Structure 1
Amino acid sequence: MSDVEADAGHSEQYFRNDEYDSFMWEDISVTVETRRPKQKKTILSDVSGIVKKGELLALMGPSGSGKSTLLNALAQRTPPNRSVTGISYINGCKVDEQLLRSRAAYVDQEDTLTGSLTVRETLEFAARISLPSSVDESERLMRVDTLLRRFGLMDLADNKIGTPIKKGISGGQKRRLSVASQLVTAPRILFLDEPTSSLDALTAWEVLYYLKQVAEKFNLIVILSMHQPSTRMFELCDKLLLLTEGGVAYNGPVRKLQLYFQDSGYEIPNDMTMAECAVHSINTDFVSEVQRHRQAVTKECWQKSVQLQNLRRELTEEKASGVIGFIALEDRWRSDTFAVLSALIHRSFIKSYRDVVAYGIRFAMYLGLAVLMGTVWLRLEPTQGNVQSFVNAIFFGGAFMSFMAVAYIPAFLEDHSVFLRERASGLYGAAPFVVANFIVGVPYLFLISLLFSLVVYWMSNFRPGAAAFFTWTMWLFLDLLAAESLVVLVSSLMPIFVVALAGTAFANGLWMCVGGFLVPPQTLNPFWRYLFHYIDYQSYVFQGMMINEFKSRNYTCPGTPDGGCDCIYGGNSGTECEMEGAAVLGTYGFSSTTADRSVWIMIAIIAGYRGFCYLALRMRAH
């Protein structure tokens, strides 16, 4: 009994429930839009092929030949700026895109993993998110242990993958984990983009050898792109699709490649292996025009070949044997929405307290800002001369708390990359991701707001009283919720760190300018006032904090030589030289009755940011 039989015999029935006898495609072409209007460039032209159950098909060719383009087209993962023509079939029937995404797995060339999770946790969450509810917990754990053992990761099971601050497992180990995390779902078709890149020769062969065993044992269909495999790796593949300049140079069994070369007039050098010849024969980038015609196995050779005629006959026979119509997705392969959401929340929560980039650094930043503010605005007395200082502190606290939310961008972009990979595999949509991200962030943002307020509020001597303190904390909490929601939205629209940082910083600068502190709302330029001021969440935070501080507090005014009072904001509030804080509110055009309305507007703005984030992710994910 082989290792695969021993490891996975318990799940054989589950794997065999819906075997796919074949996966084939006809005349797949891909075009991309150019900068010139109404002009498109063809990057893949009329590629056909077929892979049977238990077989490994290798896509090979020089850089730019179309390997990844074809792999993405077959896996229904083509970017929006590219158009695909052609038809794919499973068991001779046209493929439903939803079915293919749910019963196929795709391993990207770049490893997109959550760095704060352990190796075991990564596989466990992959199982929780992707496997249907019909698979019980013991089955999931068995699969995880099997993959850990067979991919040589058992000794690293409790090691964290690694973050920019703390190094974790190696690049080769991450590659093995990426492949394993896709196999845990028991896919019927497996697409892999350079699965052995960054691996040493022995590990690369072991990974490919295990894939071959799994494919044969459980009748999987495996399609992978490769650049320059070793002879041992090349011999593990059943079929080869050789691409050159977006077209086919060979498509057939690996064992017949040498005969095809000889029939095409290509002389096989004695010092080259067949794996080397496969790429060398079509690589015309570094040869002269004369050598190109002498040595290249061209697309024209393939068009005239007997192998192409045989392939077309096989495709026709396979279609004739299929049932007319589409293969549709069955409910038993659908993941439970609540289970997926629960797993996403759990995974994000683990990351939130392990990865200091997510919230740890922000706690330190905000606490440092609190100490700074508390010592600068230390024990301000409620006097007319300190009114402007109180106003400045309110603006500074709210605005810079909001601005410093940009520290969340790196953590979110990591989550965003994982989401795109899992979304492309059809595991879940944008809604569970947005909801989970929001739920996990709420307690941390509230704790940050509370700790910041405990330091700043009493050190600066804002209006005393528990109600006033918790109202201040509430406004800071809403401020941070809106600021983080803005970060999430901008990062979803522009998922590049520097671009997202610049976009968020610009937005915060805009909100500071039109928030009502630098220029009172009633004197603000009508363009900025009506277009931006009323959707500026910082303006409502500033207004709410101002009302909280000034609506029920009096401030002493200096006396005059004639025994009067010099209250520049308004008259006395009694026999002593005091003024009512409400007079300060009047200079900014604020009314104490608008605070409740502002809370609901803040909630609407937060919901709006998250809603637009959902739409952005839904449109951009593919």
Structure 2
Amino acid sequence: MTVRETLDFSSRCQGVGRRPKILKEVSARESAAGIIPDADIDIYMKAISVEASKRSLQTDYILKILGLEICADTMVGDAMIRGLSGGQKKRLTTAEMIVGPARAYFMDEISNGLDSSTTFQIISCFQQLTNISEYTMVISLLQPTPEVFDLFDDLILMAEGKIIYHGPRNEALNFFEECGFICPERKEVADFLQEILSCKDQQQYWSGPNESYRYISPHELSSMFKENHRGRKLEEPIVSPKSELGKEALAFNKYSLQKLEMFKACGAREALLMKRSMFVYVFKTGQLAIIALVTMSVFLRTRMTTDFTHATYYMGALFFSILMIMLNGTPEISMQIRRLPSFYKQKSYYFYSSWAYAIPASVLKVPVSILDSLVWICITYYGIGYTASVSRFFCQFLMLCFVHQSVTSLYRFIASYFQTPTASFFYLFLALTFFLMFGGFTLPKPSMPGWLNWGFWISPMTYAEIGTVINEFQAPRWQKETIQNITIGNRILINHGLYYSWHFYWISIGALFGSIILFYIAFGLALDYITSIEEYHGSRPIKRLCQEQEKDSNIRKESDGHSNISRAKMTIPVMELPITFHNLNYYIDTPPEMLKQGYPTKRLQLLNNITGALRPGVLSALMGVSGAGKTTLLDVLAGRKTGGYIEGDIRIGGFPKVQETFVRILGYCEQADIHSPQLTVEESVTYSAWLRLPSHVDKKTRSVCPLEVGTTQTYTDFNNR
């Protein structure tokens, strides 16, 4: 995907949030007060509030802010496809989150790979978005420049999984002066804060006599902060619990889109990805055509007669046809594995459900099965000299289509379950070996021991073999009787244990269709329940943070109560979303290597009694040396930890955090950059925002915004881009 397509899909998945509701309310107030809004602002607000749009003006806005407009139509690329640079991918990762209507953002070291000028530009933009739109945003940085550091409002300094300081940025030096450390005049504050936590660098900042100095550990500094008035202030509530304001800011639905719209969005993206991968499909179809020509030359009809010897050749040709059709679908494994990281990332943000991805990914491959089977049979059927009957031609074609679709569905399931090329291809060849062994040709059924008959009946290749040989050898030309008073066709079928009546052809079709449905379901279940082996996934924590979560998740939005607001002053309602966390601890099982070295406990604590608050409209910096616990804290707050043990209380707008709905209003920019390499930015952002549209928006509101935007030329021109 290109940069624009990636952002369009992201925007479509994330939806427009409360923008239509806000726009409708603002328009009503403006009309009542006789206010004529600025034309440019009015058009922009209406354009970004359009629901179910494949493209969004917000995409162009974000592209310009992050300096991605020069590569908007460039493929994202991967190890095999030349695409974006590392810095551009980092900006794309950030853009993919902020293009949606999320209210809370966690950004993990987004400056990696960026030059200082670009970093300053991006953080400056985030500062304006945070202060104007009242976003709740925390950005993890390793070593910010002084200019970037000065852009932040609040500072969270971490070390060894503990909070050393959490408060206004400009008061950090005062706190450390109270602890006995002074920052030199020409020393950069960010460097001072990092070095003061180091055992080898701390002494140079000690303000007292050198004789009185002793190393103050992060644990002691953390205790000093908790006893300080700044630390005690964190214990004070920011908002009243379960306030109406918090309810307005939260999302209470797991997905933005209804099921049908979700399937449409995922289907459109899958069709686009198939179009971008057209070379692969054309190449393997061409390869199949070449093999078909070679096969036809080996079993040429001019040398084939209807005797028992040549009947064996025909049996081998049918078996080889089935085998080639089955092997033709193996590239599906590699293609599916390449898409899994992007799928798991978007699934963790609840862009769409696993089934919304699995069904289009499977159903849209049916035309490929039809095309490959048609190419093969058109070359080989009359070239080899099968029975010259149109009905039997189509019967063989139908059987090949079903077996191709069955095995490609199996390949997708294998790829989604094992997730790595090595494991997937190992089990692929294991499955093919099983099919060949019990398919009825390599090892005929009469030669099998009775206790192995189960393998014969569960192999899809068995039913494909039964259907094709019945279709061919029960034709009239094979009904010549031999000296044993048995026809040639029946004799060859009996020898291979495939002698069944004609109705068994349709039983074989039904069995293959059942295997297709079974592998479809297995593919969807694997995507739904198998956890990604990569680190790019997020899901619910092992322990619920509060017993009230399930009860509070049933809360529904009530009236916004803006009817009594004065009409003299026009303001856009802003939903603030404070995030608080109290006594947050995170443990993992101690690695066996550490236990062997004498580590005393079975659990290793990574976060130690973390207490803090993230305020709306305040840009917070999360700092600390490598290994301080910055990423761990962000992952725990965002609910991205699938292992370990979480203790403590996390509240969103005064409500206990419910992960399934919190993800709807969360934007997480991770260190790794994961995108669909075949999609553009514009398409990805549009799909992403569209899929996350809240379901509580009524039909009347859905129709108002498109009608208003349709009256302008901007919406029409935008759709024609």
Q: Choose which of 102, 123, 127 in structure 1 pairs with 2:11.
A: 127
Residues 104 and 136 of structure 2 are in contact (CA less than 8 Å); yes or no, is this contact kept in structure 1?
yes
Q: 1:326 to 1:319 in 2, by over 3 A?
A: closer
How far residue 267 of structure 1 moved from its aligned partner, in angstroms, is: 6.2
Give distance in 2, aligned partners of 1:305 and 1:397. 75
- Matched with 1:589 is 497
> Which whole-Å CA distance do the structure 2 matches of 1:222 and 1:484 have between them?
44
SS of residue in 1 equivalent to 2:150: helix
Report the counterpart of residue 57 of structure 1 in structure 2. Answer: none
Structure 2 counterpart SS, 1:581: helix
Structure 1 equivalent of residue 468 of structure 2: 545
Where does residue 72 of structure 2 map in the other structure? 157
Matches of 2:188 and 2:239, distance apart in 1:
36
Residue number in structure 2 paired with 1:256? 171
* Secondary structure at 2:295 match in 1: helix
**Alignment match, 1:396:** 320
Cα distance, 1:325 vs. partner? Answer: 13
Task: Identify if the C-alpha distance between structure 1 residues 571 and 126 changes in structure 2 by more than 3 Å, giving closer, same or farther.
Answer: same
The alignment covers a number of residue pairs equal to: 487
- Mean Cα displacement is larger for which, 510-519 or 333-342? 333-342
SS, match of residue 240 in structure 1: strand
Matching residue's letter, 1:124: D
Query: In the alignment, which residue of structure 1 is the partner of 2:310?
Result: 386
1:514 aligns with 2:429: no
Alpha-carbon separation, structure 2, partners of 1:218 and 1:527:
70
Q: Give distance in 2, aligned partners of 1:286 and 1:608.
A: 63
Structure 2 residue runs without a partner (length 5+)? 21-48, 207-212, 532-538, 540-721
Query: Given that residues 430 and 617 in structure 1 are in contact (C-alpha distance below 8 angstroms), is that contact kept between their aligned partners in structure 2?
Result: yes
TM-aligned CA distance change 1:378 to 1:240, over 3 Å? farther
Residue of structure 2 in register with 1:27 after alignment: none
2:237 is matched with which residue: 317, 321, 335? Answer: 317
SS at match of 2:100: coil
| CA shift digits 1:161-210 (9 cap, x unpaired) | 23555422323222222221222212101122332222233223322222
SS of aligned partner of 1:252: strand
Per the alignment, do residues 175 and 385 of structure 1 end up closer, same or farther by CA in structure 2, a change over 3 Å counting? same
Residues 208 and 594 (structure 1), Cα distance of their counterparts in 2 relative to 1, 3 Å cut:
same
Q: Alpha-carbon deviation of 1:450?
A: 1.0
Normalising by the residue count of structure 2, what TM-score does the alignment of the two structures yield?
0.62
Q: Does residue 225 of structure 2 align to residue 305 of structure 1? A: yes
Question: Counterpart in 2 of 1:431?
Answer: 355
Change (3 A) 1:245 1:548: farther
1:194-239 per-residue CA deviation (whole Å, 9 max, x = no partner) reads: 3222223322332222222222221111123333333322332333
Q: Which amino acid aligns with 2:374?
A: L
Give the C-alpha shift of residue 323 in structure 1: 3.5
User: Are 1:420 and 2:378 matched, yes or no?
Assistant: no
- Partners of 1:318 and 1:166 lie apart in 2 by 49
Match of 1:460 among 380, 384, 395: 384
Structure 2 equivalent of residue 136 of structure 1? 50
Counterpart for residue 97 of structure 1: none
Question: Any conservation in 2 of the 1:242–1:248 contact (CA below 8 Å)?
Answer: yes
1-structure distance, mates of 2:200, 2:479: 83
Distance 1:268 1:443, change over 3 A: same
Question: After superposition, what is the alpha-carbon deviation per residue over 1:274-312, rounded to whole angstroms, capped at 9, x for unaligned?
Answer: 323333444569999xx9x95565123212325766345
**Residue 385 to residue 161, structure 1, CA distance change in 2 (3 Å):** same
For the structure 1 residues 325 and 583, does the alpha-carbon distance in structure 2 shift closer, same or farther, using more than 3 Å as the test? farther
Identify the residue that residue 405 of structure 1 maps to in structure 2. 329
Q: Aligned-pair RMSD on alpha carbons?
A: 3.3
Counterparts of residues 594-609 of structure 1 (less than 5 Å): 594-609=504-519
- Residue deviations 1:404-440, cap 9 Å, x none? 4221123212332222111111121111111110122
SS in 2 for 1:405: coil
1:50-78 deviations in Å (ceiling 9; x for gaps): xxxxxxxxxxxxxxxxxxxxxxxxxxxxx
Larger RCO (CA within 8 A; separation ≥ 6): 2
User: Does 2:100 align with 1:180?
Assistant: no
Q: Deviation digits for residues 574-596 of structure 1, max 9, x if unmatched?
A: xxxxx431321122222133111
Secondary structure of residue in 1 paired with 2:422: helix
Q: Does 1:503 align with 2:427?
A: yes
Measured at CA, do residues 234 and 360 of structure 1 come closer, stay the same or move farther in structure 2, by a change above 3 Å?
A: farther
Q: Residue 520 of structure 2 corresponds to which residue in structure 1?
A: 610
* In 2: Cα distance, 1:118 partner to 1:232 partner: 32
Q: Distance in 1 between matches of 2:54 and 2:313?
A: 64
Q: Which aligned pairs between 1:165-204 and structure 2 lie closer than 5 A?
A: 165-204=80-119
- Same amino acid, percent of matched pairs: 21
In 1, the alpha carbon distance for the partners of 2:200 and 2:332 equals 44
State the secondary structure of the residue aligned to 2:73.
coil
1:533 alignment partner in structure 2:
456
Change (3 A) 1:154 1:593: same
Specify the SS of the correspondent of 2:439: coil
The 2-side partners of 1:285 and 1:612 are apart by 56
